[in-house]
Every structure is written in C-alpha cells, then in structure tokens.
C-alpha cells in the first residue's frame, strides 16, 4: 500500500504495522467511524429541536427570576445546591437537553444562572444580617441566663462545651459570632463574680 501514514510519517506498511487489523488500519478506521457517527441524523437534532418560545424570547433577567422560583420551590433554604445542576434539572423538567441548545441560548442560560445565584446569595446575606441583629439584641439576656445556668451547675467558669450544653438545653441556635460572644461575656461575668 502506498498511502501515507501520519503515525510513522512514511508510507503505510500494511500487514507489518502494529496498527493493522482485519486488513485495515485501526487508526484510519477509528477516524472514519468517528466522522460517520458525526454525520448521523441524531446529531442534527440541534437544528430540528423546537424550543419553547418563552425560552427563546426571555431575557437572562427573566430566566433568572424563573430559576429562582424553581429553586425556592424545589429546595429548602438549608440545602447546598450547585448552580449548574439546578439549571440541568430545570431544563429536564421542560424536556430540554442543554447540549442540544444553540450556543446563544446556552450563554443566555449561563448569565441567568449567575444572576440567580447572586440574587439568592444577596437574599441569604440579608436574612443572616437580620438574624445577627436579632441575636445581638437577645445577647445580654442570654448571658444572664447562661450565668444563672452555670451557677446552678456549680461551675466557677464555663467551657465552650458548657455553652453548647446550655444552648441545647434551652433549644437555642446561635450564629457562630454570637456563640463566641456569649461564651466570652458569660465567662467574664462569672469570673468577676457579678452574678
């Protein structure tokens, strides 16, 4: 055979080559099959797929709003979610395969994902700040309760585990910053014997 071989950069050796099997070059057969597979009708679905009009006409901001509604409906506030998994799940509910979408729609969805993620992060931060402010207001009362609890337990100082036990007994959950402040302030009050 006088064909040029790109592997050895010389003329094809035919049966003498290690890449030769069943009277064919395995290397050439692989790429021929790959090219034929690329030309099958299933791979032309992108052009034939009918997309929902609302997906085509929606702006990234509108899609972000729809995504946020979907996330709030399907996931709890406490669940950690991966943005890309959410968009895939959302599209599956609409029987759409993201890999079959035109590039401009994929880019629009990516922008919508980022916008939705930012808005949800901002909402979570606002909620956390409100919770922090409320717990700061309740902190002096909690310090007094914790000191009284320590006195009932016969403790002359408290450990972080003691604070944890106090909070569990009272069924109170605190943000880490307030938890540390409670531990510090209660210990200072106990040590100064101002209780």
What is the tens place of the pLDDT at every residue in 124-143?
A: 899 999 999 999 999 999 99
Domain's final residue, options 126, 158, 179: 126
How many structural domains does the chain have? 3
Give the SS3 label for residue 5.
strand
In a domain, 44, yes or no: no
Are 170 and 134 found together in one domain? yes
Residue 23's CB is within 10 A of a number of other CB atoms, namely: 7
Are 91 and 62 found together in one domain? yes
Residue 67 CA to residue 87 CA, distance in Å, equals 8
**Tens-place pLDDT, residues 22-47:** 777 766 776 666 655 555 555 544 44
Q: Which residues constitute the domain of residue 11?
A: 4-39
Q: Is the dihedral of CA 36, 41, 42, 47 positive or negative?
A: positive
Domain's final residue, options 85, 107, 126: 126
């Amino acid at each position: 055979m006088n064909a040029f071989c790109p592997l050895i950069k010389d003329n094809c050796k035919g049966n003498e080559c290690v890449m030769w099997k069943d009277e064919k070059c395995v290397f050439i057969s692989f790429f021929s099959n790959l090219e034929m597979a690329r030309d099958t009708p299933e791979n032309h679905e992108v052009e034939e797929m009918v997309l929902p009009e609302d997906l085509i006409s929606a702006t990234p901001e509108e899609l972000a709003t729809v995504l946020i509604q979907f996330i709030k409906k399907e996931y709890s506030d406490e669940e950690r979610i991966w943005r890309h998994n959410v968009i895939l799940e959302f599209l599956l509910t609409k029987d759409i395969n993201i890999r079959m979408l035109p590039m401009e729609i994929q880019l629009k969805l990516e922008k919508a994902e980022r916008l939705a993620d930012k808005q949800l992060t901002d909402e979570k931060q606002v909620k956390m700040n409100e919770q922090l402010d409320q717990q700061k207001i309740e902190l002096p009362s909690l310090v007094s309760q914790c000191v009284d609890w320590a006195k009932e337990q016969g403790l002359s100082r408290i450990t972080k585990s003691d604070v944890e036990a106090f909070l569990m007994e009272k069924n109170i959950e605190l943000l880490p910053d307030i938890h540390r402040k409670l531990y510090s302030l209660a210990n200072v009050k106990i040590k100064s014997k101002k209780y």
